Structure 1
């Protein structure tokens, strides 16, 4: 590990320790739903960690519904009851960092739903953005030797936006950076394979354009065929 930098496992350990301390603070102080937590600065001093670590821990607990942050007001205990809160926090602390295969499986499940909704809910503006992302992907994948993964994922993110489901979009944004960071960057399509991948993307776009959710989902499943094979090779 480079000096001054934390590995992912080190960072998770810090986060888990911090979350456990926030849990203990809530129950030791008998904080009720709606009660305010000490400021980030005070928690940082109390727990001996940086304010950024405190902020990340609070954001994680906020994501899981344990805390609620209000701009200019502070962070408050959510109204979910102590029994539920204890159980959820224990589950959070037991979570492992997702491996690449888990991330991809989650992505597939999300995208089969987002493409379905996008075909039903897309606007002309959405369609134009998906088309632009598709064209950027086409240019990149046909440039032999260029990595096209980012353009591919941006195409899929535009579809997620068109679904008009903020929760699905949030989940996509959460897992996308990890997928980009974990994917084998050496895999580059050439020739007929590149043309085949472009055709699969075009088919998805056209199904969304025709507002045919069933067809859009079928085309997305075909597109994921190559990804399924890639996952099979993972140990």
Structure 2
């Protein structure tokens, strides 16, 4: 049993490991929220957040009236996307459309301002994405993706745009997780190549190319989710 309170992401990682190592097997019903919250010594709210993250990644699925089960389907294995959890506030289309405008402009304003250390961090995050995908560590794959985008935001010259990004980061994060269950290896290779083209544009200080490459990347991610923003 864990001896300290863990953040939802850490709990999600523990459960992902249980699935990957066969402690929790495909088709198996996971323990009750009460049992799991006691095991990990976290609140039920933190546990629910961890389970929602894993469901978005396609590792578990909740069936009303029956419980939550391990899917047994890794990324690109014919799974289905989880329901959009922010539907009461914004559609997933709205969020992708906002990402196009917001992150495209952020990338343009970051061009010429990204430090060499930040470029290296972005390259490392992209390598981690590639490595974690190969190992089907889906949580770490998305974490590396979020780090990549976050570095660009930190280099943007406009403080209000940086604040706007933070205000909608939860919804943006969900659009980066949600397509994972239906992302095949070829699409992930393309996504990683898109990251490297964004890095090249930022390194060159080319604002027009940085905007174009970022918008292309977001549009392609949206298409993977079945949308045309």
| Counterpart check, 1:146 vs 2:131 | no
Deviation of 1:233 after TM superposition, in Å, equals 4.5
Look up the match of 1:206.
Answer: 200
Deviation of 1:158 after TM superposition, in Å, equals 0.8
After superposition, the Cα gap between the structure-2 partners of 1:216 and 1:181, relative to the gap in structure 1 and judged at 3 Å, is: closer
Q: Gaps (5+ residues) in structure 1?
A: 6-95
Look up the match of 1:187.
Answer: 182
Structure 1 counterpart SS, 2:138: coil
Structure 2 counterpart SS, 1:224: helix
After superposition, the Cα gap between the structure-2 partners of 1:111 and 1:179, relative to the gap in structure 1 and judged at 3 Å, is: closer
Q: Contact 2:100/2:219 (CA < 8 Å) preserved in 1?
A: no
2:93 corresponds to which of 71, 80, 101:
101
Deviation of 1:230 after TM superposition, in Å, equals 4.0
Look up the match of 1:162.
Answer: 155
When structure 1 is superposed on structure 2, of 224-233 and 172-181 the one drifting more is 224-233
1:217 corresponds to which of 207, 211, 217:
211
Q: Distance in 2 between matches of 1:195 and 1:232?
A: 18
The CA RMSD over aligned residues, in Å, is 3.0
TM (norm. structure 1) is 0.51
TM (norm. structure 2) is 0.53
| Number of residue-to-residue matches in the alignment | 143
Q: Distance in 1 between matches of 2:92 and 2:148?
A: 20
Q: Contact 1:153/1:176 (CA < 8 Å) preserved in 2?
A: no
Q: Distance in 2 between matches of 1:197 and 1:142?
A: 14
- Based on CA coordinates, which of the two structures has the bigger radius of gyration? 1
Q: Distance in 1 between matches of 2:212 and 2:91?
A: 27
Q: Distance in 2 between matches of 1:141 and 1:157?
A: 19
When structure 1 is superposed on structure 2, of 145-154 and 114-123 the one drifting more is 145-154
Q: Distance in 1 between matches of 2:216 and 2:174?
A: 24
Q: Gaps (5+ residues) in structure 2?
A: 1-32, 34-43, 46-87
| Counterpart check, 1:128 vs 2:124 | no
Look up the match of 2:223.
Answer: 229
> Comparing both structures, which one devotes a greater share of its residues to helix?
1
Q: Contact 1:157/1:172 (CA < 8 Å) preserved in 2?
A: no
